[in-house]
């Protein structure tokens, strides 16, 4: 799924919202996540996972073709680790998967004040 498809799906599921407003919300959320990662912060989205910045130290490597030493600068990259709910959902048998709109996760139960649900 690409960002435009995500915006369309959210707009379809929420007919009371304009598509342009949904686009602004999605862009704002993704922009804030990007800003936080650029600042070296960790971003945790309960039920989904954790985005974190990893650094690789500067090092000396070898060119595999010529064998010459090459110095590599420090490098930062983003890592993602799935949360427990997402990991469970990804590894569930196909028959037990439910559509995303009907799937009740722990955070939804807490958010709606119903407490944890047993499945």
Q: What is the pLDDT of residues 65-97, one digit of tens each?
A: 999 999 999 999 999 999 999 999 999 887 555
Q: Do residues 1 and 36 both lie within one domain? A: yes
CA distance 98 to 117: 15
Q: What domain range is 56 assigned to?
A: 48-85
pLDDT band at 119 (very low <50, low <70, confident <90, very high): very low
Whole-structure pTM value: 0.66
Q: Residues 24, 4: one domain?
A: yes
CA dist 119 and 89 (Å) reads 13
Could you tell me which residues come within 8 angstroms of residue 53 by beta carbon, excluding any fewer than 6 positions away?
37, 40, 41, 42, 76, 77, 78, 79
CATH no. for residue 72? 4.10.520.10
């Amino acid at each position: 799924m690409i960002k435009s498809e995500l915006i369309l799906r959210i707009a379809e599921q929420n007919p009371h919202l304009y598509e342009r407003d949904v686009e602004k919300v999605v862009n704002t959320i993704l922009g804030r996540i990007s800003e936080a990662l650029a600042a070296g912060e960790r971003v945790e989205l309960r039920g989904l996972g954790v985005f974190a910045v990893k650094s690789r130290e500067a090092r000396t490597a070898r060119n595999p073709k010529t064998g010459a030493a090459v110095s590599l600068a420090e490098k930062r990259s983003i890592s993602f680790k799935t949360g427990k709910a997402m990991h469970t959902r990804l590894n569930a048998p196909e028959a037990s998967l439910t559509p995303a709109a009907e799937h009740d996760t722990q955070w939804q139960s807490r958010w709606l004040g119903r407490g944890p649900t047993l499945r």
